[in-house]
């Protein structure tokens, strides 16, 4: 066996970057442990619901739609005092770290995250927030005992786990241009989820692939009705600075299908063109062509940002 089985660590990263080591390496450093019976729902797969349809003159049913639902988790923690902080301080630290909402006064507010690290799958993250007050019903005086347990009821609006690459929630492939012509970016989706990719373009006029795909897992290729489909951008000038083009509002802050670097909606400039194809699950690494016209003297760059989502904090890589 070439890897060390087991969960290396579980951490809670707070909204203000608080770190609580609740299992595995350095567990209990902040006086907080995750209880043995308080982790099961954290490790289960994302909930989903399928709808099926039955024809009037057909036998059986067929799947019609698959929907990923939000996930509620009861995280039970054991809290105690430490050499540098009391029980009550550590309890408050935990509750404030997870929080109940994004701070409306903080322009850079972010959700707390559960973080699981394993040898087989590395580190994956899950956004969490409390949706109800914690369950804390001590039978003794916890302040005198400096010990207690509490259950934080957290919700994951997006129940899928994601990875970070150099601190960014996407795997990046880019191509730099010094003149007009053709270049290539790499696409790669090793996850069980379809990928909602984002393109970032600097000044110039770009032609970008929007291929449909065919082929078995691990052997995908551009094929089907849109096997040669491209989207051509308008000429991007210095006022616009560049474009962000995506198939869905993403974790990198992109909320519109087409916006310039001033956050202005520019979809109308595309004359009805829009991205319609996603990157299928288990698409092996391969190169996609991109084309540039009217390259500025300072050069140009195009990026393909590829977020990776998993329904569990470990495993699911293609076997």
Domains assigned to the chain: 7-159 (2.40.30.200), 171-310 (2.60.120)
- Work out the angle at residue 226's Cα, subtended by the Cα atoms of residues 221 and 230, and round it to the nearest 5 degrees: 100
Q: What residues have CB less than 8 Å from 61, skipping those under 6 apart?
A: 52, 53, 54
pLDDT at 11: 97
Instruction: Tell me the whole-structure pTM to 2 decimals.
Output: 0.91
Tokens at residue 168, please? 């960014």
How many whole angstroms separate alpha carbon 185 and alpha carbon 290?
7
Asked whether residue 272 carries a pLDDT value surpassing 90, the answer given is no
pLDDT, tens digit (0-9, with 9 covering 90-100), for 193-247 = 999 999 999 999 999 999 999 999 999 999 999 999 999 999 999 999 999 998 8
Residues forming a β-bridge with 12: 20, 114
% of the chain exceeding 90 in pLDDT: 78
Cα 235 to Cα 31, 87, 94, 183, 240, distances in angstroms: 57, 60, 50, 18, 10
pLDDT at 157: 92
pLDDT at 38: 74
Cα 245 to Cα 15, 56, 82, 154, 259, distances in angstroms: 28, 42, 49, 32, 7
pLDDT, tens digit (0-9, with 9 covering 90-100), for 58-115 = 888 988 888 889 999 999 999 999 999 999 999 999 999 999 999 999 999 999 999 9
Asked whether residue 255 carries a pLDDT value surpassing 90, the answer given is no
- Work out the angle at residue 310's Cα, subtended by the Cα atoms of residues 304 and 315, and round it to the nearest 5 degrees: 120
SS3 251: coil
pLDDT at 2: 58
pLDDT band of 41, cuts 50, 70, 90: confident
Q: What is the separation of C-alpha 201 from the centre of its chain, rounded to a whole number of angstroms?
A: 22
% of the chain exceeding 70 in pLDDT: 96
Please tell me which residue, 274 or 106, carries the higher pLDDT value.
106
Number of H helices, E strands in the chain: 3, 22
Tokens at residue 23, please? 């299992």
pLDDT, tens digit (0-9, with 9 covering 90-100), for 167-186 = 999 999 999 999 999 999 99
Q: What is the DSSP letter of 27?
A: T
The residue with tokens 């994956």 is: 124
- Go through 41-61 and write b for each residue having 16 or more CB atoms within 10 A of its CB, e for each that does not: ebeebbeeeeeeeeeeeeeee
How many whole angstroms separate alpha carbon 304 and alpha carbon 212?
16
Q: What is the separation of C-alpha 151 from the centre of its chain, rounded to a whole number of angstroms?
A: 25
Flag the least confident range among 143-147, 228-232, 235-239, 252-256.
252-256
Asked whether residue 40 carries a pLDDT value surpassing 80, the answer given is no
pLDDT at 19: 96
């Amino acid at each position: 066996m070439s890897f060390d089985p087991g969960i290396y660590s579980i951490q809670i990263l707070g909204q203000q970057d608080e770190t609580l080591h609740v299992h595995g390496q350095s567990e209990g450093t902040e006086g907080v442990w995750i209880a043995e019976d308080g982790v099961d729902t954290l490790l289960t797969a994302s909930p989903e619901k399928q709808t099926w349809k039955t024809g009037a003159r057909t036998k059986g049913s067929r799947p019609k739609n698959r929907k990923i639902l939000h996930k509620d988790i009861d995280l039970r923690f054991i809290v105690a005092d430490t050499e540098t902080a009391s029980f009550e301080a550590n309890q408050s630290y935990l509750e404030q770290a997870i929080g109940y909402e994004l701070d409306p006064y903080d322009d850079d507010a972010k959700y707390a995250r559960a973080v699981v690290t394993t040898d087989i799958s590395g580190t994956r993250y899950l956004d969490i927030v409390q949706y109800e007050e914690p369950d804390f019903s001590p039978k003794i005086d916890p302040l005198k005992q400096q010990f207690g347990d509490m259950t934080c009821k957290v919700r994951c609006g997006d129940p899928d786990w994601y990875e970070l690459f150099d601190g960014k929630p996407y795997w990046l492939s880019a191509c730099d241009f010094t003149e007009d012509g053709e270049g290539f970016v790499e696409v790669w989706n090793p996850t069980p989820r379809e990928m909602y990719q984002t393109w970032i373009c600097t000044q110039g006029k770009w032609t970008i692939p929007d291929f449909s795909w065919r082929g078995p897992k691990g052997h995908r290729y551009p094929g089907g009705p849109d096997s040669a489909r491209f989207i051509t951008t308008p000429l991007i000038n210095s006022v616009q600075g560049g474009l962000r083009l995506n198939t869905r509002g993403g974790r990198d802050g992109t909320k519109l299908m087409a916006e310039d670097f001033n956050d202005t909606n520019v979809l109308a400039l595309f004359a009805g063109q829009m991205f319609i194809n996603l990157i299928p699950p288990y698409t092996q690494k391969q190169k996609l062509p991109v084309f540039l016209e009217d390259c500025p003297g300072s050069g140009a760059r195009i990026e393909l940002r590829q977020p990776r989502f998993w329904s569990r904090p470990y495993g699911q890589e293609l076997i």
